[in-house]
Structure 1
Amino acid sequence: MKPSPSYLTRNRHGTFYFRIVIPRPLRALLHGQREVRRTLKTDSERLARKRARQYVARYEAVFDKVLNMVERDELGLTEADYQELMELVPDFSSPQNESNPAEPILSDKEIEARQRRREIERLLTGAYGRPIPTELEQTAQQLLELSHAYQPTELRAILPKLRDELALGRLTGTRTASALPAIHRVDPAMANWTLYQVWQHRLELDKADTAEKSGQANYGGSLELNERFARVMTVLTNHKPVCELSKQDWQAAYDTARKMKVGAEASIDPPTPRDDLLTDDPEQMVGHERTNAFIDAIKRMQHHARTLDLTAVREDELRIKHVKKRESARTRDGKPFSAPDIEAIFSSYIYRGTPPANRTKAYPFWFWLPLIAYFTGARTNEIAQLNTADIREVDGHPCFDFCPDDPKAFEAKRIKTGEARQVPIHPRLIELGFLEYVDSQRQAKQKKLFGDGLTYLPPRNGETDHNKEGWAKAASKFFNESLLWLNDSGHPDRALSFAQQ
């Protein structure tokens, strides 16, 4: 009878097993494991031989490849080589049974710790998986501590620098390696940058990316909002240079962001004190949606600052909580305008007839939009998108016909509630000549009631079902941001809210 191959064995129950000896040079990589032994799950010698030959070919091919790398010792094992070898590790032991339970699933923190350890092993030994010599263990622990502030994906680039700094510190004797802080080579040109300059740097990168069609560099509304956020971030960090912000400073910025008050203005020059932006009164705090958007903006700026080596503090090291739904009398019912607010709005040069010297033109919507909003309660976009055909008689009374178009239609009109309605035109608007203005637009064959000065802003990312831009963007920009349309006692930040009430 032909003898069984040396790699084939049988237990006392008649089941065949595969066995192969691990080459001596590879045992250190596999924690001293001497052989591979695994069940072939059969008592048929013919089938066992067939399966064993497949295992032999597989294992010997991997062993030969790794041995060749180790003997040449050029660049050590690559990550792919090490992963290929480690795929065999679960089979380098007897089959699992009740007395030999499976290895528990590692947590994210344990996985990250293992990744960090392996990168240091690669740096100190030249290959993944090689045991770190005893004399280098102290260096490995120091590198683990110094690299804690960096992401695992950054370690391959930063670890050699940290190792060199450790060696330099030992040679010069200027500082002990154990006391060496994490290294941040700050560009001198950025040493005094606040978060506002970090935002400006990111904006310039966005502008340089001509392939990108969205984002703050391409949309005025997004740009203005992010610029305002950048000013507030700078105030919440007490106008400090980013490279001087400690972990406690970052945490304080996130915590105080939850307590910002409505209407507070942040200035870089002159610097606004942080306390001027904060309140402990829930009724005066910014709504939860805007607050959460601002917190996310801080996280983006912190991440960008880290890419510039201005800070080593990571977002996941901080306690960052988003604000849950926040309601107040102001957010539920809206804040009504006071008599001085109304007086300020309607006493501007638009209604007094004396434009400033630097104004060479005016648009009809400047005059009519606040008046129509006052007498109808319609929203800004509902008024801005009106066609001349939307002014018509209903049962003998002139009315506004607020009606939506098909969302897929060209430059579609939309109504927030989705319900069309007819609103009678107030007699005061008729006295002021509104119907005559409508007739003049019709005679000029104008489709849009306020086509002079207002244009349709296409939706972002090609979405047409819910266009937040529409016809109101230019109107919102003028009434919210232009200081010239009001007199010195006006409140331009309240104008758009007025138009929406």
Structure 2
Amino acid sequence: MSTPSYLSRDRHGAYVFRITIPKSLRPLFAGKLCIRKSLTTYNRREAARLAIALAAEYLNGFEMLVENKEIKAVKESLKKIEGQMFRNGSRLKAKRVIKDELFEKLVARLRSACPEAGIAQIEQTVKNEDLDIVLEVLADLTGDSELANHFDREISKLNKEIKELELTESILQHNYSEARLVRQDDARSPNLNSISSTNESVFLSKPITQIVETYLEHKRGNNAKLGRGVVNGLDHSIKDFIFICGDLKANEVTPEIARTFRDDLLRMPKYRSKGELKGCTKNDLLSKSWDESQLLTPTTVAERLRYITEMFKWLVRVYGLARNPFIELKVASAARGYNVFSIVDLNHLYASELYSPDSTYFQSKRTNASYWWLCLVAMYTGARAGELNQLELKRDIKSENGIHYFHLQEDSVSVKSKAAFRRVPIHSKLIEIGILEYFEKLKKAGMKRVFEGFALRDVASKSMSAYFQRYRERNFPAWIGDKKVLHSFRTTFINQVLHGKSKIATHHLQEVVGHEPSQLKSTSDYVRGAPIERLKEVVEAVTFDGLDIDHLKGGWKALMFK
């Protein structure tokens, strides 16, 4: 592919922006023929994006100088932006009113179904605005899970629309501020040599809350499929930084401030915006002594720092920030260490109330077939919860050479890494229990996803993980201290293959579970694309000797479409 116009390379290989000055304007630039500016990047795609933006800026400046239209253009731009801000603000206000009314309807419906003795508890739950708990209680009290799902869908839709309008509002405010800065200086002719440096200086003096919106626009421009997990991760990181350090300007953040942020974050409790901790100040939280289990994990803190570090790298590269204050920060991270399920654990699980047709839990209107299949599919595939919850019947259930498999494709699911796009054969034990028949019944009923019983939110794994956590607390509280969670099924699957009787090549196991080559100590010449028969051998190596689940055959049928 040819190099885009305005781009060249310097002797070190970095891209340089170059634009020719119109002949009539050269006297204003000391006779120069062109303007050159280093883009400080070796990435062609990034350089092309920056060059296009700079070219538009300089060409517009040339035109203003030639035709003397700068003042008029700025005034028209301000007027246009003001109109856009008014219309966007009206829509945002209307959406917030609709959300408040919908939430009031939800609360009214919940209180009407609640026994008198539980009203105080319900009011406290609503006050804390924990939507998941509110919807769960509503479904339990009314026996109508569809009503709860209706409220969930409507509120989630409104939250998404409000988030988009708030983003638009922030961008418009940024554009309006830029236009006003130009208008204040409109009596003078623009010096095009200083256009970029002036904008960079102004941008770096903005608060981080304004900078982050521009950064997200940059990320979306380079990645049309930017996942909600990335957006939410950056949002949590910025909120934590502002809570601890304040909404500082980007050029005010020093390495000392960055270290303070890291050290204080390691002393912060989880869920500081919920329950009794809601409304506490930074000093309130730091003054208390917390158990290690109550604190944010080193892994979470490292993740927060990673998001902020990447944003400041972008500021250094694109806007000329002097240095990245977060670049050398490290967090001593402890391994997450999810424990595996023993055969005794699994036998107890599949003898518990979810798998006992005579139990009140099984017969509850809220219990559905998705709940019933979750642990079994996770155990025999090693897939992540977020991957399972996004599986669709027509798109992701396939067959090759008589082998049925889940096809996790780039267009199918939002996954952790590129290695997670893969084929996972369906274990013979799942087929024996009746999973293929389950798929057919879902298709005939017009269902789209394999696990329709779980809500699919911004974080795909959230509803599944929350359900398993509640079931664990209800039936197996000892597992909490043992660190046995839904993700432990994945750890158990990998351990079964690694320590089983069958000798499975490590890179084939990697392909099935979606690990990067660096994980599980793979060789450097690792290549994907093993035949489906070879992947089937990996899955079938999971045998769970001593596990008795023969009684589960067809047990899911009583839970279909309750």
TM range (shorter): 0.3 to 0.5
Q: Which structure has the bigger radius of gyration?
A: 1
Between Structure 1 and Structure 2, which shows a larger proportion of helix residues? 2
